[in-house]
Amino acid sequence: MLRGHQSWEFEHQPMILSTAAIGGPMEAKGPLADDFDLLHADIRMEQKSWEQAERTLLDEACQKAIEKAGITKDAVSFLIAGDLMNQIISSSFAARTLAMPYLGIFGACSTSMEGLALASLLVNTGSARYVLAATVSHNAAAEKHYRYPTEYGAQKPPTAQWTVTAGAAAIVAPNDGKGEHPVVTRATIGRVVDMGLTDPFNMGAAMAPAALDTLISHFRDFDLPYDYYDLVLTGDLGRVGSRILRDLMIEHHVDIPQDRYGDAGVLIYGDLPEVLAGGSGCGCSASVAYGHVQRRLRDGELRRVLVVATGALLSPISYQQKETIPCIAHAVAMEWPSAACQAGGSAP
């Protein structure tokens, strides 16, 4: 139900029954490689086009999540999916393959948490049984659509980010009370924040204020202390954007402990020089949240995590027409059930 201005409290604590993350060759070189379910050596995924490669990633992530959940695809009430392609075509083709009732969404790179928030709301309110929330991005498909085809070999400034090649999906289910899966406890839906930046090669800087706005709203709406979460993960600000966010947090007294803050765009590639300022794309926060973070939650390393997925809501046309870049961030809290209960949540 609604909490504060723009947040949802999931009092029935829907479970994240399973997650899956499928990556590409660059993701295989990064420090989180082991947290993917499958890594393709071929950036084309043996398909004829970049777009088909992207679709393959999403198909595989959805299939894997369903398989890991131990359910059949017919048990899933709804697919909620979106991606970076024009008219979110990768998601629509996945919806065709899966033949599930389908809600298409778009929040650029924040799509992952928009989807997980809505999926959790549907399950929490009894409006769905199982929901599949999924998203995808592909480096070469995104470069072709937003900047220059990778085949051109165009150079980029050091503030540019590397679109992650990954599909990721989660199955959200009603809480069965057994305490065997992480649960979703809260979500905050972001507002559009636009600081007037126009450089598509520096989206981390454009998105940082949106992440701050959502963070402030989240802690305010739930009246939580800033050290409540073991990890606050933004994604995908990259090195430049997350440095700006740290400065903004200090300025606005958002006292999240330094060692409990991370960014998916920084984590996913570590120090790989090719990625410049870090990872980005729908698959960035999704694959880190559904791969790395889920593994750490299930291993007991983390008990309370807030994922704040950031999105730059530009299009190539809006950029060419010299518009600024509207940005948004959606936050979703994933917790280990006992941690969530201790926090005063009403257990199911």
Binding residues (CB under 8 A) for a copy of itself: these are 1-2, 5-6, 8, 49, 51-52, 77-78, 82, 84-89, 92-93, 95-96, 99-108, 114, 118, 121-122, 125-129, 145, 189-192, 194, 313-318, 321, 323, 326, 328
- Nearest distance from C-beta of residue 130 to a copy of itself, angstroms: 11
The answer to whether the beta carbons of residues 149 and 143 sit under 8 Å apart is: yes
Residues composing the chain: 348
Of 147 and 246, nearer to a copy of itself (C-beta) is 147
Short-list 29, 106, 94, 30, CA closest to 57: 94
Radius of gyration of the chain (CA): 18
Of 188 and 294, nearer to a copy of itself (C-beta) is 188
- Nearest distance from C-beta of residue 33 to a copy of itself, angstroms: 30
DSSP 220-275: HHHT--TT--SEEEEES-HHHHHHHHHHHHHHTT----GGGEEEHHHHTTTT-GGG
| d(C-alpha 16, C-alpha 175), whole Å | 9
Of 32 and 45, nearer to a copy of itself (C-beta) is 45
Of 2 and 41, nearer to a copy of itself (C-beta) is 2
- Nearest distance from C-beta of residue 95 to a copy of itself, angstroms: 4
| d(C-alpha 113, C-alpha 257), whole Å | 23
- Nearest distance from C-beta of residue 80 to a copy of itself, angstroms: 10
Of 45 and 100, nearer to a copy of itself (C-beta) is 100
| d(C-alpha 68, C-alpha 79), whole Å | 16
- Nearest distance from C-beta of residue 150 to a copy of itself, angstroms: 16
